[in-house]
Amino acid sequence: MLAETPGTVVITGASTGIGEASALLLDKLGFCVFAGVRQEVDAEKLRRKASPRLTPIFLDVTDNDAIALAVETVTKASNGKLAGLVNNAGIAIPGPLELLPISEFEHQMRVNVTGQLAVTQAFLGLLRQGQGRIVNMGSICGKSAAPFLGAYNASKFALEAITEVMRLELRPWGISVSIIRPGTIATPIWDKSLTQADIDRDNLPEFAQNLYGQAMNTVRKQVGIMASKGIAADLVAQAVVHALTAKQPKTSYLVGQDAKIASLLKYLLPGQVYDRLVLASMGL
């Protein structure tokens, strides 16, 4: 049951996967949805699937001008009030930290961390006026690290801290801040990551192939298997809706059995035992 009449919600990264599923579900529930995309083909796809309440907007979270234009557009259409912001845009850059170019690490953080904060800062005025809610799309990888996903893990660990601090700092204005921690989801983010992993592996110099080539192949296969068995993005969208509409939203949401099991084992097991379990799950 909705806590109040649906209002206006902004979602970043709504082209595919969790963002698209969340945008369409919120549209179905009667919200006015501004769905962030980066390509016209994705905007047109959303228009075909949704009602006129859903408006695609071009929003690159690393582009300050695009963010400012999005705020201007939403302000005009929402009477200066925003019911919710869903920070979903994200990428996953694979590779061993020893060999990962710093520029790639910085890009990972720019999209998954700095970009999310920049969007939130830009929309906080509207959120404060509407006593809205913020939902950040984290990951179980923000609580449990995995080999060869160090940059992605770091970005999600950072988002955990940002979410917690925001929740404390924004409480005086009644702005709730929640984080969603999905396990493995069947979304294009992993297809893109696996494709990039193949390219990176093939381009490794000989010494790096000797160090990490076999392990990278093993992990790549295991991640592919896990991704193929991932849960539907619609289940994560349901958690997003709860965080935006429940009278008492949770501070965090674990979605998927693998996320729940990993969280429990991380809490219960000694560190070295858990490390061995993670390595074994990756085939290492």
Write down the catalytic residue from 152, 212, 267, 274: 152
User: What is the token pair recorded at 231?
Assistant: 């849960």
pLDDT band at 195 (very low <50, low <70, confident <90, very high): low
Looking at residue 237, its amino acid is A
Provide the whole-model pTM. Answer: 0.91
213-217 contacts at long range (C-beta below 8 A, 24 or more positions apart) = 215/147, 215/148, 215/284, 216/95, 216/96, 216/148
- Which letter does DSSP use for residue 212 in this model? I
Those residues with Cβ within 8 angstroms of residue 251's Cβ, 6 or more apart along the chain or in another chain: 167, 177, 178, 179
What value does the mean pLDDT take over residues 150-162?
A: 97
pLDDT band at 199 (very low <50, low <70, confident <90, very high): low
- Let me know the angle formed at the C-alpha of 196 by 195 and 199, rounded to the nearest 5 degrees: 95
Q: What is the pLDDT of residue 256?
A: 94
Q: What is the pLDDT of residue 3?
A: 47
CA atoms within 13 A of residue 255's CA, in its CB half-sphere: 28
Provide CATH code, domain 8-281: 3.40.50.720
Q: What is the pLDDT of residue 222?
A: 77
- Domain ranges, ordered by start, for the chain: 8-281
Q: What is the pLDDT of residue 250?
A: 98
- Which letter does DSSP use for residue 15 in this model? S
Residue 148 CA to chain centroid, in angstroms?
A: 19
Q: What share of the chain is helix, strand, coil (3-state, %, to 5)?
A: 60, 15, 30
- Whether 253 sits among the annotated catalytic residues: the reply is no
Q: How far apart are CA 160 and CA 163, in angstroms?
A: 5
